[in-house]
Structure 1
Amino acid sequence: MPTIAIIYFSGNGHTHLMAQAVAKGASQCEGTTIELIRIIGEEIVNGRWKNDQVMTKLNHADAIVFGSPTYMGGVAAQFKAFIDAGSEIWFKHGWKDKIAGGFTHSSSPSGDKQGTLLYLVTNAAQHGMIWVNVGDLQSFLFGKDDGVNRLGGFLGVMGQSPLDMSGKEAVIDEGDRLTSERYGLRIAEVTKRFIN
């Protein structure tokens, strides 16, 4: 039975909604256990992230999915602090051969989200993890209007919502939600095949 940990930071709620969609998709794979883990600012003290309970969950997971909004062309500082805390695990190859994946969100149609995904896959590669890509072409290529992979992100899932400074509750595009769900299911299925 695969265990998938989805660890992410979300500043305004959009990345959180994507994480929930990834979890929902993964839950469609029978027997999959999902840990949804949100990085919070209180876990960062003097610039260092620390949460031993979270690291224990990640160490026991078969797959880890990383999520961060794209801020200024890269991962959020809070997420970077978590990544830096993983250096002890890296040194021992503690996540070697775990399945990995990632997703990001920004308000700009491009927003340099590719830079964030490249950072996530580079981190996974340094850990010796096995990265799962999106696996879906843009659905509009086949005359569908469901918005699957509408932004053409293949390395990981990209989401985009217009910038809204009004304080309204976050929402994500329906296509981005569906792409995230499909990605979660793909990761769960790959993990299940890999651990059996």
Structure 2
Amino acid sequence: MKVVVIFHSVTGTTKKLAHSIASGAAMEPGVEVVTVEIVGADIVEGRFRNIELLRQLDNADAIIFGSPTYMGCVSAQFKAFTDATSEWWARQAWANKIAAGFTIGANLSGDQLSTIQYLQVFASQHGMFWVGLDTPGNYDPAMRNRLGAQSGLIAHSVDTDLNETDLLTARYLGQRVVQTAKKLAA
């Protein structure tokens, strides 16, 4: 089974979450995990141009999308990536793959949920199966999902330090995506 975690990060916090998700997914036996970062060189004159990166996603069983929240949505760099997937959408090349998403913002109520909802709609347009969290906020004995988002991982940091429970939730999301993919494949 192959899992790809694709993300854009500005301050490094989204990248830390991506690597925690990847480590959680890698805890499951028989899983290959690849992390792919969207970088400035991928975008030329406002358009995402890294077609090889897009092709990497074709062989994935699960794709986990991540972006910081800016102005209530994904970053412009991540949006350029999603806009570049129209050929894959037309072919429904990612249909029946597992999808999940994560974001981080500097404000507790910084409209991070709308970023998760954007990622969820994006995955649905591609015919993917969305996996959220099954841990009720503030009721999980392991203290996961401290901000209470069921649709995906929402984290908060006012600097580059991440709350340890957000990293724990990230690892759990990686595990949950793999476990769900295995159930669907059975």
How many angstroms does 1:56 deviate by? Answer: 1.5
Aligned to 1:141: 139
The equivalent position to 2:149 in structure 1, one of 138, 146, 153, is 153
Aligned to 1:185: 175
**Deviation per CA, 1:43-74, whole angstroms, max 9, x where unpaired?**
10011002122112101100110000000111
Instruction: For 1:8 and 1:181, locate their aligned partners in 2 and report how far apart those are by CA, in whole Å.
Output: 15
Instruction: For 1:17 and 1:6, locate their aligned partners in 2 and report how far apart those are by CA, in whole Å.
Output: 12
Preserved CA contact (<8 Å) 1:89 1:95: yes
Aligned to 2:57: 58
Q: TM-score, normalised by structure 1?
A: 0.92
Instruction: For 2:145 and 2:31, locate their aligned partners in 1 and report how far apart those are by CA, in whole Å.
Output: 24
Q: Identity over aligned residues, as a percent?
A: 40
Instruction: For 1:87 and 1:32, locate their aligned partners in 2 and report how far apart those are by CA, in whole Å.
Output: 28
Instruction: For 1:148 and 1:34, locate their aligned partners in 2 and report how far apart those are by CA, in whole Å.
Output: 22
Instruction: For 1:15 and 1:36, locate their aligned partners in 2 and report how far apart those are by CA, in whole Å.
Output: 12
| Equivalent position SS for 2:69 | strand
5+ residue gaps, structure 1, are: 165-169
Superposition RMSD in Å = 1.1
Instruction: For 1:110 and 1:174, locate their aligned partners in 2 and report how far apart those are by CA, in whole Å.
Output: 19
| Equivalent position SS for 2:29 | coil
Instruction: For 1:4 and 1:83, locate their aligned partners in 2 and report how far apart those are by CA, in whole Å.
Output: 18
What letter corresponds to residue 4 of structure 2 in structure 1? A
Instruction: For 2:154 and 2:73, locate their aligned partners in 1 and report how far apart those are by CA, in whole Å.
Output: 13
Instruction: For 2:143 and 2:106, locate their aligned partners in 1 and report how far apart those are by CA, in whole Å.
Output: 17
The equivalent position to 2:163 in structure 1, one of 173, 179, 182, is 173
Structure 1's consecutive aligned runs of 4 or more residues displaced over 3 angstroms after TM superposition are none
| Equivalent position SS for 2:16 | helix
**Deviation per CA, 1:142-185, whole angstroms, max 9, x where unpaired?**
5x4x54101001000000012x4xxxxx2211010000100100
